[in-house]
Amino acid sequence: MHREIAKGVYYVGVDDHHTELFENLWALPHGVSYNSYLIVDEKVALIECVKEPWSAEWLANIREIVDPSKIDYVIINHMEPDHTGALPDLAKVAKKAVMVYTYKASDMQKSFYNVPLREKIVEDLEELSLGSRTLRFIHAQFLHWPETMMTYDTQECVLFSCDAFGSFGALNGSHFDDEIDMRMVESESRRYLSAIITSYLKFIRQGIAKIKGLNLELKLVAPSHGPIYRRNPMWIVDHYLEWSSPDLEKNCIIIYGSMYGFTYRIAMMLKKQLAELGVEVKTHNVSYSEMSRIITDTMRAGVIVFGSPTYDAFPFPRIQTVIDEMETKRFAKRPIGLFGTYGWGGGGIKKLQEQLEGLGFSILDPVISVHGQPTPQEVGNCRRLAQVIADLIR
Ligand code: FEO
């Protein structure tokens, strides 16, 4: 089903309730939307395609408004296949359409699909007239890939922002921010940013500065995933700015693994000690917390604490996975606390310390490595660590 979202601008996107993991990595408990927009003017422009399995539904949405053979331009803001997988199906029925994208997108398009459509490569801030209105293309490198751009409708003041300002969560017919539970949008958009764009935080800030510098009037912010913002288009822009800030929050996160409960009990003891010292603290058990939620809560946490049993003389494998994510997502350096337990040889915490120091993180003293149950002295060390963390956060 289509919906007119501004004069001559139609939502023709689709909901995905079937994919369990976005990018085959990140949980989608509420689904996700692939947003696509059709502008009907003297010329007809389609902004963004959808993921391949949804091409039939998407083309049916378009046919409710125009015959796809009438499409003059396909504006491709981003080449990732959740935005372009249906392009080959479109090319079969929109044979006169010209693909409009950046130079880098052209290269990717040829290697991904090589569809037999003409192309128009646009420079940063280049404009394209559709008749009564003009589109302006704003290059937005690394939001989310290097070829990405946004598109701005200068007549209706709609910013088609691509992955930027996007959110997980299907729309279920409620396309606007004033039709959706914004508590869920806040949670799902922050999780989306943390999982998908954390590696490129400085590009978020640069992109927002660029948009503000262009003094664009924003009546609608229309991203490629999640709701369209019309009640307060700056709500999502300001939240993205806050979530991408390099400033750390005054809190602590404990990320732990536990096979038989020994490490868990120390995690809970440390959590209680921190809470008694007035520290805001969250915990994640790596065996049960979904990775995108761990990343979301850890990204800007003031202090990170890892708790790990020794597993075959190494750290608990799923703790290792979190550290790998922190490295690839270029987490800001900050103090890290370490505690752990072992049943016989030990060594996991020492390896964790060496690895984290090698990555440039500072390790808080004391490091706690316990054989089985903690001795009274080790309980005291745990209290000392809590005090060090509380002092840091204050
Ligand atoms: Fe929505 Fe970078 O894909």
Which ligand 1 atom lies nearest to the CA of residue 166?
Answer: 1
Atom of ligand 1 minimally distant from the CA of 163: 1
332 pLDDT above the threshold of 90:
yes
Domain of residue 136, CATH code = 3.60.15.10
How far apart are the CA of 22 and the centre of ligand 1, in A?
10
82 lines ligand 1 (CB under 6 A): yes
Q: Cβ of 157: how many Cβ atoms within 10 Å?
A: 14
Residue 211 and residue 100 share a domain: yes
The backbone region for 331, taken as left when phi is positive above 0, alpha when psi lies in -120 to 50, beta otherwise, is: beta
Residues 281 and 214 in one domain: no
Residue 210, C-beta contacts closer than 8 angstroms, at least 6 positions apart: 138, 140
CATH of the domain at 300: 3.40.50.360
Is 224 a pocket residue for ligand 1 (Cβ < 6 Å)?
Answer: yes
Residues 119 and 159 in one domain: yes
Q: Is the CB of 147 under 6 A from ligand 1?
A: no
Using the atom order of ligand 1, give the atom closest to the CA of residue 162: 1
Rounded distance, CA 259 to CA 265, Å? 11
State the closest ligand 1 atom to the C-alpha of 224, by its place in the atom list counted from 1. 1
Tell me the residue range of the domain where 218 lies: 3-243
Query: What's the domain count of the chain?
Result: 2
**101-144 tens-digit pLDDT:** 999 999 999 999 999 999 999 999 999 999 999 999 999 999 99
Find the 162 Cα to ligand 1 centroid distance in Å: 8
Q: Are residues 68 and 206 in the same domain?
A: yes
Q: What percent of the chain has pLDDT over 70?
A: 100
| 51-99 residue pLDDT tens | 999 999 999 999 999 999 999 999 999 999 999 999 999 999 999 999 9
CB of 48 shorter than 6 A to ligand 1: no
| Whether residues 235 and 304 fall in one domain | no
Name the β-bridge partners of 303.
Answer: 252
Same domain, 100 and 193: yes
Q: Where are the alpha helices (DSSP H) in the chain?
A: 55-63, 81-84, 87-93, 103-112, 182-192, 201-213, 233-243, 262-276, 291-298, 317-328, 348-358, 376-393
Do 304 and 355 lie in one domain? The reply is: yes
Looking at ligand 1, which atom is closest to the CA of residue 148?
2
Cα 270–Cα 276–Cα 280 angle in degrees, nearest 5: 75
Give the mean pLDDT of 16-38. Answer: 97
Within this chain, do residues 340 and 210 fall inside the same structural domain, yes or no?
Answer: no
Same domain, 285 and 198: no
Domain shared by 239 and 333, yes or no: no
pLDDT computed for residue 51 by the predictor = 98
Averaged confidence pLDDT in the chain = 97
Does the beta carbon of 51 lie inside 6 Å of ligand 1?
no
Identify the domain boundary among 214, 243, 272. 243
Residues 102 and 132 grouped into a single domain = yes
Ligand 1 within 6 A of CB of 144: yes
Give the pTM.
Answer: 0.95
| Shared-domain flag, residues 264 and 199 | no
**How close is the Cα of 371 to the center of ligand 1, in Å?**
46
Among candidate residues 243, 263, 279, the one where a domain is terminated: 243
Tell how far the Cα of 159 is from the centroid of ligand 1, in angstroms.
16
Per-residue pLDDT of 182-199, as tens digits, reads 999 999 999 999 999 888
Residue 276 pLDDT class (50, 70, 90 cuts)? very high
Centre of ligand 1 to C-alpha 41, Å, is 27
Of all protein residues, the one whose alpha carbon is nearest to atom 1 of ligand 1 is 163
For residue 225, which atom of ligand 1 is closest to its CA?
1
Domain boundary among 243, 277, 309: 243
Report DSSP letters for 123-163, one per residue: -TT-EEE-SS-EEEEEE-TTSSSTT-EEEEETTTTEEEEET
191 CB under 6 A from ligand 1?
A: no
